[in-house]
Structure 1
């Protein structure tokens, strides 16, 4: 009885001393870390696991000499074994928290709430993926070490290692889809094909990458729905990434009008309209005739914006404004179906309305800049160079 009382007193004293030391260290680090992101993260993430590790270690140190008189007793061996298991688990918790502290510190250096955040989003995606991988690895290692403290499991482990090839093959076949998603998640994190906050078009839906894990990707669709896809989808199927290299994008607005439409007047009106809105980034403003069949002319307005959200609003604004302008200023250019009943001697049953500038031709006889997608401006010239073909035709015989 005296030995039991002494063991209890020693254990309580060890716990009190351990908690006191940890609390003093915690307060000192928190005071020093008011201006340090690293120390602040340490006080937030590592305080509880450090308490657990120090407390269990203190109890273990106090129990061993206090129960020395009961050496060889089963209850003492079981108690010490239990403390060892708890210490291993607490140590794994502490190691995982320290890794999270380092990763959180790295995340604070890469802000994604800035206009040009492509590189920051790439690094942030990699850090988030590493965060999940490291926590999983630490948990698996800690569990393995805990199991290896059992003699029976240690013997089984030797047999498992001897047949690791067969077991690995069976496990790979059984968890092929799961492992495929995990590998795809790591590939996405480090290839840069998809990053957090990227704007993508997947399965006909336009949205933003909200979450990227080892097994699935969450796409926040523009109407606040969530599309959840396995990570292997983005490595096996095509999709559109509108912010792969930059957030600035081009968009179109198409509408059909009558053949009598004064195209150059519409170009000038569209230019005036986009220059008066802050949605336009000043790069591209082009109006072209892309089709002319079955009694109508198809016009395509090509505009640019700094990001996909502004582009959507700008496209809708251009479409609405141009329709209203044609209706109010050129009602004869509205789409119509003609049926002419006239004397054969009449050569002009209807009169063409000429624009102030000949359609498609500027004052100097050249095609105006706002009628050209490839060329005519600095941005257009760069686009033309990107899509230029070979300077000389390839010999048909050489291809054979």
Structure 2
């Protein structure tokens, strides 16, 4: 008696085998792509984009897996599903994976370009400008890709295609209402683009905002994060930097001229104090050897105003240098010329 194969068993084994093959092919392609990128990164160390593209392995595997699932449809046959619900779910997963993969590729290319540019450029101002522009470009492109991906996913639903005409008819009214409601958000958005490509402020710049000095730590499309000297973070809307004046101490040159004011007695030996300043700066590591001076800038009935100026490489170095110069000059006068320090005169011979 000849035994025949169970038809139901065959109809399950084939989809299971197809599903297993899809998983193996997905893992193999992900591993193969990673090996190719590693080899390219070792062969071309001057192009960091190949190493950065390895971050795209997971979304690439999801794209491959979803594409094969759509082509073979093993899930419907395993669970004996009727209709297009499972196929539609796989289609949504494929669209989401494609959007994720595109965002990862764009981010890797932009970051690779920045690292390459930083390796061949020595000017900090240009590096900060490119970093700011690429950071905001990545955010804008990622947001656009996400919006387009979600829109395409919604259009796969029959209900969304059916009500498309009515949505287009009311788009004008909704656009006006949304524009009024999101006026502030849109203003910050366009202000962020203006900051990125107008080169008014960049990541790493030292700025003075509302009497607060700090370093720009992060720039987004809606706000800037400024790290203050005591490590507090000041959050400022991007629209502030296109509508109000502010001080950018490092826009052209990160170096800065620091100044120290001293109120001293009229008997102060200014030439000797000038020599003491020069001797101190010559041995100080924070002075950049560009410029220095000590001058009497004003007089009052009881004192003279002496201003000592010196340059440093960065605003932080200039602040520390000012503190130490002030301390050194006061100590020098106290030890060698105590009568040069300001005194309160109580009589003709006081």
Same fold (TM > 0.5): yes
Residue 76 of structure 2 is aligned to residue 63 of structure 1: no
Q: How does 1:325-336 map to 2 (within 5 A)?
A: 325-336=332-343
Residue aligning to 1:38: 49
Q: Which residue of 2 aligns with 1:54?
A: 64
Displacement of 1:65 in angstroms is 12
Contact 1:19 1:55 in 2 (8 A): no
In structure 2, list runs of 5 or more residues that go unmatched. 1-7
Question: Corresponding residue for 2:3?
Answer: none
SS of the residue aligned with 1:264? helix
Give the aligned CA root-mean-square deviation in angstroms.
2.4
Distance in 2 (alpha carbons) for counterparts of 1:275 and 1:33: 46
2-structure distance, mates of 1:65, 1:319: 77
Corresponding residue SS for 1:76: coil
Report the structure number with the largest CA radius of gyration. Answer: 1
For residues 1-400 of structure 1, the aligned pairs below 5 Å read 1=8, 3=11, 5-36=13-44, 37-43=48-54, 45-63=55-73, 75-111=82-118, 116-341=123-348
C-alpha change, 1:114 and 1:210, in structure 2 (3 Å) is farther
**Unaligned stretches of 5+ residues in structure 1:** 342-348, 351-400
Length-normalised TM-score, structure 1: 0.78
Distance 1:114 1:251, change over 3 A: farther
1:274-304 CA distances to partner (integer Å, 9 max, x unpaired)? 2222222222212222221241111111111
Contact kept, 8 Å, 1:200 with 1:206, in 2: the verdict is yes
Q: CA deviation at 1:310?
A: 1.7
- Aligned equivalents of 2:40, 2:180: Cα separation in 1: 52
CA–CA distance in structure 1, aligned partners of residues 36 and 277 of structure 2: 65
Q: Any idea what the Cα deviations from partners look like across 1:311-331, whole Å, max 9, x if unmatched?
A: 112211221111122222222
Cα offset for 1:66? 8.1
Q: 1:126, 1:189 within 8 Å by CA — same for their partners in 2?
A: yes
- SS of 2:163's partner is helix
CA–CA separation in structure 1 for the residues paired with 2:249 and 2:119: 17
Secondary structure of residue in 1 paired with 2:288: strand
Give the TM-score of the pair, scaled to structure 2: 0.88
Higher deviation after alignment, 258-267 or 141-150: 258-267
Partner Cα separation in structure 2 for residue 330 and residue 66 of structure 1: 95
How many residues get paired?
Answer: 337
Give, in angstroms, the shift of residue 115 of structure 1.
6.8
8 Å CA contact 1:112, 1:121 repeated in 2: no
Between stretches 28-37 and 86-95, larger displacement belongs to 28-37
Over 3 Å counting, the alpha-carbon distance change for 1:79 and 1:265 in structure 2 is same
